[in-house]
Amino acid sequence: MDRNQRTELVLEGLDCAHCAVKIEEKAKGLEGVRMASLNFATKKLVIEADGEGLLEGLVAQASAIVKELEPHVQVRDAAEGRRSGEPSDTSLGWKRFLAGVLLFVWAVLWKEGVGGMDPGFRGGIPLLAVFLGAYFLLGQEILGTALGNLRKGRVFDENFLMSIATLGAFLIGEYPEAVAVMLFYRIGEWFQDRAVNHSRRSIAKLMDIKPEVAWLQEEGGFRKVDPRTVDVGARILVKPGERVPLDGSVLSPRGEVDTSALTGESMPRALVGGDLVLSGSINLDAPLEVEVVKSYGDSTVQKVLELVENAAGNKAKTEQFITRFAKVYTPAVVGTAALLAVLPPLFLGMEAGHSPQLFGEWFRRSLIFLVVSCPCALVVSIPLGFFGGIGAASRHGILIKGGQFLEALHGVRHIAFDKTGTLTEGKFSVEEVHGGLEWDRGSLLRLAASAEAYSNHPIAKSIQEAYGSPELDPVTLLKEIPGSGLKASRRGPLGEEVLHLGHGGWFQELGIRIPPQQDSKREDGARTRLHMALQGEWIGTVVLGDKVKEGARDMVQALRKEGIRTSMLSGDHPEVAAQVGKEIGVDEVYGGLLPQGKLERLERILKDRKGSGAVAFVGDGINDAAVLARADVGIAMGGRGQDVAIESADVVLMTDEPQKVLQAIRIARRTRGIVWQNIGFALGVKGLVLLLGAFGFAGMWEAVFADVGVALLAVLNAMRVMK
C-alpha cells in the first residue's frame, strides 16, 4: 500500500465503544475507501484510499462523521504531536456533580421527614422541584447528548435510552429512584472510563518501545536529531540507558543491550564489533557507536509497532459477531420494552380492570429493559481483550497480525514444522567433502563458495565460512530454486560451463547420476548432502552437519499435552528428516519435499484435519512462503527468517526459540478464554435482570448494575490477559 493512500487519525476523547463501532461502519461506507478500521484501544482510525488523490477528501469526510457522532472528540493526524487542547471543564463538571449529590441527599431526607419537615408539604411541588434540580445537575451531559442525538434521529443511543428510562420513572412518581439511577449510572460510567483508560495505558506501555532521539555523528561531535531524518550509512551514538533508534552494525569493540521489549528475552545480549543491533533495544553498557543499516521506516521497531497497531484491522470472528449482535440487541430489547409496557396491562386489565396502577407497574418494568439495552459491556471489553492479548504477545517477542489470527491460534490442533532453521539450528558446518578424481576439497569448496556468494541461505554461509578466503572464481548465478538448489555458469577451458549445486532429489529430476555411496544415508542420518555437477556430470558432494535446537523436543512434548499433533515437512533427504524427527519426537515426518511438495502435503493435512481444528505451519525460509500463506495460521521464525516468509506469515516470532510457538498458543487460549468469560458473564447477567425485571423481581438498581457494573467488571477482567 502506497503511504500516500493511507493515513492514521487519532480520536482524542473517544470513550464510547458503541460509538466507535458506528464511526468505523460509516467510514467503511464512504465512496473511495478501500479499508477503514478503528481501534478503540488505541483510538486510532486507519483509512486506506482506493486510488490516487482521494485521501484528503476522505479524511475530511471521516472527521465530519466523528463530529456528527461524537462532537466532543478531537481528530488529529497520528503523525502530529499530542495537542494540549482546550482547557478542560473537568473542575466545573465535578462541582456540578457534587451539587447534584448534595441536593439529592437533601431531597431524600426531606421526603423521609428528617428534620421535622411537614409531612403534607413533603409530597408537593417544592419536593419535586428539588428532585428535578438534583436530576438535571447529575444528568445534564447525558440529557444534552440525548437531545442532540434525538435531533439526528438516533433513538438507540445509550444516553437517549437512559434519559427516557429516568424521565419515565419521574412520570410514574418514582422521584428518588429516577435520580438515584442517574447518579449511580454516572458513577458507574466514571469507574468504567477509568478502567478503560487504565487498560489503554497498560497496552500503550506494552508497546512503549519507540525511540525518540538519535545522536548523529558530525564533524566535531554528535548532534541530537529525529531518528526519521537519519540516512543509511550514518554513524550514531547510543548513550547508556537510551533505546537504539535504528538498526545498525556495532562499531564499538563490545556492548550489552536489553532486547526484552522486542524478543521477550530476559537476559541481556552481549555484542561485539560487527554484530547487528536492533532498534528498540536498550543500551545497558558504555556508549555504543553504531553504523545505520536500515532507514527508520524499515527499522525493526517501526515494523513491530506497525504490525501490532495494524492488527486492529484484522478483527477476530468473535469481534465481528459482537458488532453484528450489538446492532440487533438494542433495538430488540427496546422493542420488547415497548411491548412489555402495553400488552400485559391490556390483557390483564380485561379481567382486573384497566387501573392506572396496573399500567404504571408494567411501565416501570419496561424502563428496566431500557436501562439494560446497551451492549457496552461487550463492545468495550471484547476489543480490549483481543488487543491486550496481541500487546502481551508482543511483549514476549511474538507479533500477531490481528485478532482473527489470535483466535485461530486458539483453535490450532495440528502444527507442521519446517526442519532447517526451525527445529534445527540452521547453523551448518562442513564436515566432509567428497570429490571425483580431478576435484579435491579446496577446489570444490572454492567453486561452491563462488556459486553461493550472493545467497543468504544458512548452507551458503556455512560453505563460505568453510572455504574461508575472499578469492572467488567468476561464477554467474543463473537461477536459485528455493528448496532445491541453484544453477550457475562459469568460464571453463572449453567455454561456458553450467554448474548445478543442490539436493539429491533435484539432481534425480535433472537426470544427473550421483555415485551410490554419496546418495545414501551414511553413519549420522542428521547430516545434509549437497551435490555438485558440472555440465551434467557429478563432481563432488559436500556433507554438512546441523544440530537440533535446544528446547525443540520439550516444546513438541508440551504441544502433545495441549492436544496438538505435530509433523515435519522437510526438503532434506527423507532419512535425514526421519532421524531429526525421531530425535525431536514429532508425530509425522515427511522428507525430500520441494516447495510444491510441501504445499501439497500441507493441503493433504488440511483436508484430513477438516473439522478437527486449525492447522498451523512454522517456517523461516523463502521456500516456506507459499506454505505459510496457505496454512490456517502461518508462523514465521523472525530471528533469521527471510523477509518474504515474514510477510507471508500471520504470526512472527522475533527470536528463533521453538518455545515461542507454545507460548503463542497459550496466550491465544488464555485471551479467548477471557473474552468468552466476558461474553457469558455480560449476556448472563443482562438476561437474568431482564427476566427478573419482567416478572417484577428486579428494579432499576439491578438494571444499572447489569449495564455499567457489568461493563466495568468485564473491562477489569479483560485486563488480566496483559499479565
> Any idea which residues carry the catalytic annotation?
418
Q: Give 83's strand partners.
A: none
What would the grid cell of residue 564 be?
496438538
Please give the radius of gyration of the chain, using alpha carbons only, rounded to the nearest integer: 33
DSSP state of 284: -
For residues 592 and 577, give the distance between their C-alpha atoms in angstroms, rounded to a whole number: 8
Half-sphere exposure of residue 189: CA atoms within 13 angstroms, side-chain side: 17
For residues 426 and 457, give the distance between their C-alpha atoms in angstroms, rounded to a whole number: 9
Cα–Cα–Cα angle for 465, 470, 475, rounded to 5 degrees:
95
For residues 593 and 133, give the distance between their C-alpha atoms in angstroms, rounded to a whole number: 79
Contact indicator for 435, 533 with CB cutoff of 8 Å: no
Q: Is the dihedral of CA 165, 167, 169, 172 positive or negative?
A: negative
**How many CB atoms are located within 10 Å of the residue 205 CB?**
11
Helix axes 90-111, 175-206, angle to 10 degrees: 150
Half-sphere exposure of residue 463: CA atoms within 13 angstroms, side-chain side: 32
**How many CB atoms are located within 10 Å of the residue 192 CB?**
26
85-102 as b/e: b if 16+ CB within 10 A: eeeeeeeeeeebbeebbe
To the nearest 5 percent, what fractions of the chain are helix, strand and coil? 50, 20, 30
End-to-end Cα distance, the chain: 34
Q: Give 503's strand partners.
A: none
**How many CB atoms are located within 10 Å of the residue 121 CB?**
11
Q: Is the dihedral of CA 627, 628, 629, 634 positive or negative?
A: positive
What is the 3 state secondary structure string of 547-589?
A: CECCCHHHHHHHHHHCCCEEEEECCCCHHHHHHHHHHHCCCEE
Collapsed DSSP state (helix, strand, coil) of residue 715? helix
**How many CB atoms are located within 10 Å of the residue 125 CB?**
8
Collapsed DSSP state (helix, strand, coil) of residue 33? strand
Q: Which long-range contacts does 11-14 make (Cβ < 8 Å, 24+ apart)?
A: 11/38, 11/43, 11/44, 11/45, 11/66, 11/70, 11/73, 11/74, 11/75, 12/43, 12/73, 12/74, 12/75, 12/76, 12/83, 12/85, 13/70, 13/72, 13/73, 13/74, 14/40, 14/43, 14/70, 14/73
Distance, C-alpha 536 to centroid of its chain: 50
